[in-house]
Amino acid sequence: MIKLDAGNVLLKPSHRRQMMAWLRRAVRLGSQLGQFALTITMHRTGKQCEVRAEVRDSAGNFVCRSRRQDWRDAMRELVRALVNRLHAQRLGQALA
């Protein structure tokens, strides 16, 4: 399950579809772990855009965040960190 709180960042429907495409691998990894819930919060302060992801799954909970001037750059960086963390959890679960 994915929940997006765009806050004061204006997103068009095409932007939302683009974000879902970027998150496809993270969602697949999370569903393999089980009980996957992802909450993404976006907030703009001045020229900075902060994107924060809270993940809850059967392997544990964690938070990732990114702050950049463009929401796309912040989201891309967040997705990379998210996938790396979920992959590490998946490997840890396979070893246990």
What does the block give as tokens for 86?
């979920």
The domain in which residue 71 lies consists of 2-6+19-91
Is residue 11 included in any domain, yes or no? Answer: no
Which pTM value belongs to this model? 0.90
Is residue 74 included in any domain, yes or no? Answer: yes
3-state secondary structure of 3: strand
Domain count, the chain: 1
Within 10 Å of residue 86's Cβ, how many Cβ atoms? 25
pLDDT at 93: 83
Is residue 96 included in any domain, yes or no? Answer: no
pLDDT digits (tens, 9 = 90+) for 1-48: 899 999 999 999 999 999 999 999 999 999 999 899 999 999 999 999
Is residue 47 included in any domain, yes or no? Answer: yes
Domain of 35, CATH number, reads 3.30.160.100
